[in-house]
Amino acid sequence: MQSSDVIILGGGLVGLALAAGLDASGLTSVVIDPADPDLRLDAVFDGRTSAVSSSSARMLDAVGVSGHFLVPGGPIRQIRTSDGLAPGSLTFDAGEEGEALGWMHENRNLRAALRARAEAGKNIDLRYKKRATAIERGEHGVRMTLDNGESLSAPLLVVAEGRNSPSREAAGIRIARWSYNDSAIVSVLRHEKPHVGIAYEIFYPTGPFALLPMTDDEHGHRSAIVWSVREADADGFLALSDEQFAAEAKAAMGGFLGAVSTLAARSSYPLGFHHAARITDNRLALVGDAAHGVHPIAGQGLNLGFRDAAALAQVLVEGARVGLDLGDRQLLDRYERWRSLDTLMVAMSTDALSRLYSVPGKTASAVRRFGMGLVDRIGPLKDRLMSEARGTSGDLPLLLRGLPI
């Protein structure tokens, strides 16, 4: 039976980030994932991107992931929000210190960098194309049997399986869940004029249209889009020709980036909310989408997962240094307290924003634009919102400050 400090179920972005954080401080982990990793590194760009906040980027630096990026991310130097194309907007700048608000990465490049970091780790055992067929969480540890007959043991099981986590369900952890009856259309556009590092969030009653700056390639300027539409309309958007879709996108953004064409395949996914009633159980901790799923309105989903990973890594490393069992209840309680309020506040804030901006009518639009103008003039409130966008508010784990544990 192979023993390690932690078993991680799920080798996605958050699971691998946690493994890297533990490895950087000498803790061992076995990462189990049924997927074929080579299929996740397909050379064809599928249009999926992620906004990595400045604090998450510092964590990736601190645990040695950033050195494995083959393609640098595109810096987000300013965020502009508006109510449709009406005059008036709320603008967030990177500030005089010069650090970007965040970075846009193609998901395939994020996955490749995290996998390369994990493969280089001395304390990480990657087990792709493997499944757990039996899991026993007992008083003295976790025992697991894989589908190839191997047996593993560890003091703690971390679940990073995503929104529909079977291990969360098997643990009897209840979740609050609802659907927005909307879908997100995801793609990448090429445009005539440079984006100069500006991210746009244009709110329509049917859902927000997010335009996110990516690195230019040899052919010109690129931006990712996340376009929330009514669920009933999603198939229609996917059925449009590339030229028709580009025309619709240009109209939605008001044409301020000039001529537009479609660069990557379009895909869609349903939008919903879920939040676990608790994120720990006997010798078990949830991270990432296994614990919470939020509306993409503020681009915080992945960053919440990275914050989970940073907090849990610190709790476990500090517990190991004083000789505690890594599945000890007091360690899990500390992780629960640290993360529960932050995730709940972000989840409810994004839910409230999505509902606020879905109210149609000129009066509702005027009230929203008045509110944005007011926030733009109240320095402390605007600074607080900007720190939320950066992921620098609250009690930050060391890794999110760019510091080793």
* Arithmetic mean of pLDDT, 145-169: 96
Kindly report which listed range (13-22, 267-276, 284-293, 377-386) carries the lowest average pLDDT score: 377-386
How many angstroms separate the CA atoms of 224 and 76, rounded? Answer: 12
Crossing angle for the helix pair 54-62 and 13-24, to the nearest 10 degrees: 50
Dist CA 53 CA 96 (whole Å): 17
- Token pair of 354 as six digits: 């999505």
77 pLDDT exceeds 70? yes
In the numeric block, which tokens belong to residue 153?
């043991």
Count of CB atoms situated within 10 Å of the CB of 265: 15
pLDDT of residue 42 exceeding 90: no
The pLDDT of residue 401: 93
Token pair, residue 40, equals 């996740």
Residue 210 has what DSSP assignment?
E
pLDDT at 374 over 90: no
In this predicted structure, the answer to whether residue 11 has a pLDDT above a threshold of 90 is: yes
Share of the chain above pLDDT 90, in %: 67
CA 343/CA 345 separation, integer angstroms: 6
Decide if 336 contacts 313 (C-beta within 8 A): no
Least confident of 89-103, 105-119, 345-359: 345-359
What local confidence, expressed as pLDDT, does residue 85 receive? 84
Q: Are 351 and 57 in contact (CB under 8 A)?
A: no
pLDDT value at residue 373: 62
For residue 93, what pLDDT band results from cuts at 50, 70 and 90?
confident
pLDDT band of residue 311 (cuts 50, 70, 90) is very high
Report pLDDT for 39. 72
Element (H, E) at 105: strand 102-106
Is the pLDDT at 299 greater than 80? The verdict is no
Confidence of residue 346 (pLDDT cuts 50, 70, 90): confident
Q: Which amino acid is at 299?
A: G
Cα–Cα distance for residue pair 311/158, rounded to 1 Å: 13
Q: Is the pLDDT of residue 381 over 60?
A: no
Weakest-pLDDT range from 52-56, 167-171, 195-199, 367-371: 367-371
pLDDT for the residue numbered 48: 84
Say whether 124 sits in a helix, a strand or coil.
Answer: strand
What's the confidence (pLDDT) of residue 249? 95
pLDDT of residue 87: 75
pLDDT tier at 71, thresholds 50, 70, 90: confident
Count of beta carbons in the 10 Å neighbourhood of residue 352: 12
CB 301 within 8 A of CB 294: yes
- 378's CB contacts (< 8 A; 6+ apart) are none
pLDDT of residue 384: 62
pLDDT at 89: 73
Average pLDDT of the chain?
Answer: 89
pTM of the model: 0.91
Q: How far apart are CA 103 and CA 214, in angstroms?
A: 8
> Is 218's pLDDT higher than 80?
yes
- Region 46-74: what's the mean pLDDT? 91
Which of residues 100 and 194 earns the better pLDDT score? 194
**CA dist., res. 47 & res. 210, Å (int):** 14
Q: What is the predicted pLDDT for the residue at 10? A: 96
Q: Tell me if 78 sits within 8 A of 200, measured CB to CB.
A: no
Q: What is the mean pLDDT of residues 351-376?
A: 66
At residue 336, the pLDDT reads 97
Confidence bin at 176 (pLDDT 50/70/90): very high
Write out the E strands in 150-238.
151-154, 156-159, 175-191, 198-204, 207-213, 221-230
- What percent of the chain has pLDDT above 70? 87
